[in-house]
Amino acid sequence: MNILIVEDEKSLAGEIARYLTRENFLCEIAHTGAEASEKIAVNLYDFILLDLGLPDYNGIDLISEARKISSESAFIIITARGAVEERIKGLDLGADDYLPKPFALAELHARIMAVARRKFRINSPDIPLGSFTLIISARKLMSGDREVQLTKKEFDLLYYLAINRNKVMTRHQLYEHIWGNILDDQYDSNFIDVHIRNIRKKLNAHSPSPWLETVRGVGYRISNETK
């Protein structure tokens, strides 16, 4: 998943980005509100980690602005400000969680995963897909007691489709959320098709996978038939 870290303290922003990258997130950093505003206007993010105390912007205003542009993004406020009024205002404007500084990076990761479960309505740490099971914590796809050998990006693609179950995801959306933000002239939709074809081949070697659907001219989805 794609994360924007809005934090003016450069060392902390870098530390968060390195940690979350190791946890298989895609991370971008904005050190100012203006920079964050520009990124949010043109890119899609699954999560925005936001420091309220920015040098050029009131973080509360940025939440309000960003919510109008990126309504599906999840916001986690990370700030040293401890006033109850600030927390309430941020949450009222649509923030999904609040984590005061200083914090452990492991707790930040746990909060992100908890928000993701609520956002995508995941009630279990594992996701059933027909006769398969995605083991999220271990990043494995199992067919019974046998592991289906997926590459990192193949797992990420299947996982992102799974948590957006029954929603048609365009090739561009999948590319942006799995490989990061790119310029339009760098985008090659066939890249996604090749990865989906490889995933299907591996799935069908174990069991039929009609639930992984192609929506002609648009993209792909995992249907509710996997329930």
Q: What contacts 69, CB < 8 A, 6 or more positions away?
A: 40, 41
Query: What residue has token string 């193949």?
Result: 154
Peptide bond just before 102 cis, omega within 30 deg: yes
Query: Measured between alpha carbons, how far is 227 from 221 in angstroms, rounded to an integer?
Result: 14
Q: How many CB atoms lie within 10 A of CB 7?
A: 26
pLDDT at 125: 77
pLDDT at 139: 93
Assess contact for 224 and 166: CB atoms under 8 A: yes
Q: Do domains 2-119 and 126-226 have the same CATH topology?
A: no
Q: Which architecture characterizes domain 2-119 according to CATH?
A: 3-Layer(aba) Sandwich (3.40)
Q: Where are the domains of the chain?
A: 2-119, 126-226
Amino acid at 195: H
* CATH code of domain 126-226: 1.10.10.10
Q: Strand 74-79 vs strand 47-50: parallel, antiparallel, or unpaired? A: parallel
pLDDT at 210: 93
Query: Measured between alpha carbons, how far is 18 from 12 in angstroms, rounded to an integer?
Result: 10
Could you state, in chain order, the average pLDDT of each consecutive group of 10 residues for the chain (227 residues)? 94 97 94 93 90 86 81 84 72 86 93 89 83 92 95 94 92 84 58 93 95 93 73
Assess contact for 129 and 166: CB atoms under 8 A: no
